[in-house]
Amino acid sequence: MGSFSGPIQHIALLFAMEGEARPLLETLSLAEQTNKPGSQYGIRYFEGTLKKLKVTVALNGQDPHHNVDNIGTESAALAAHCLIEAYQPHLVVSAGTAGGFVHHGTKIADIFLSQEHVVRHDHRIAIPGFDTYGQGRFPVLTLNHLPNLLQAKTGIITTGNSLDATEMDLDVISELNAHVKEMEAAAIARVAQRNQTAFLAIKAITDFADSPENHDEFIQNYSAACTKLKDTLVSFLTFLSDGRSFEEL
């Protein structure tokens, strides 16, 4: 859970894509901040308060050469490092969209909370010691009441740097017993672990990683999933705003 105990007074949420964050930023009227660590890399920060809770949102920003959002593990790790260094939040959340799996009975716009640990399915290093290093198994916040409160599912979340999944990826994901596949959580969780900061991932399902149409599904379902993600995050932040402790989650 990290080294902090007591009421959660400051939460930081990291998003890879502005479209994922925009509904929350507008709902909470969070104000953009300037001259923060990592701004030179395009990382953007927004702040506000909700009763007793300070809320910080960080976006990975956009690649200046390709004019697209900085998705993937490299940008996520950089943003997490800059965010934690600047703010020292009590809890860091990797928030965004993700792929699910048809064989788990997952539905579009389902909300998943990280459970047990987050892993990496595409760091395949078949050398003793490096094999487990590659998977990561980074710790996540233990949850007791939050899944029911948010009407969310729980599962192991796995991270890779491709939207699709090869047959080998799918085999590894199955071995890892993962329910959600995305592109940032493990990178953020690793930085959080190094800083002894509590970590949680909250993901909304846009597509199915075990479907050949997952690229089209992502585009078709992105808006609906982002809206569901916003509603869930608002409920979560409202719950925390009364001065909740980690034990109450």
pLDDT digits 0-9 by tens, 116-125:
999 999 999 9
Q: Which tens digits make up the pLDDT trace of 177-194? A: 999 999 999 999 999 999
Q: Which domain holds residue 194?
A: 10-248
Q: Would residue 131 count as lying in a domain?
A: yes
Distance of CA 167 to the CA centre of its chain: 24
- Burial track 68-81 (b if 16+ CB lie within 10 A, e otherwise): ebbbbbebbbbbbb
- Is 216 in the active site? no
If phi over 0 gives left and psi between -120 and 50 gives alpha, with beta otherwise, what is residue 201? beta
List 69, 169, 182, 207, catalytic entry: 207
Q: Would residue 4 count as lying in a domain?
A: no
On the question of pLDDT at 38 being above 50, the answer is yes
- Which of 103, 57, 82 has the alpha carbon at shortest distance from 202? 57
Looking at residue 4, what is its pLDDT? Answer: 61
CATH number, domain with residue 35: 3.40.50.1580
- Is 20 in the active site? yes
* Mean pLDDT value across residues 210-217: 78
Name the pLDDT band for 1 (thresholds 50, 70, 90).
Answer: very low
Looking at residue 17, what is its pLDDT? Answer: 98
Which residues partner with 203 through β-bridges?
96, 112
Reported in sequence order, the residue ranges of 29-172 that DSSP labels E, i.e. its strands, are 31-33, 44-50, 53-59, 91-100, 111-120, 138-139, 153-159
Number of domains in the chain: 1
List 20, 184, 210, 217, catalytic entry: 20
On the question of pLDDT at 63 being above 90, the answer is yes
Give CA–CA dist 5/244, Å, rounded: 11
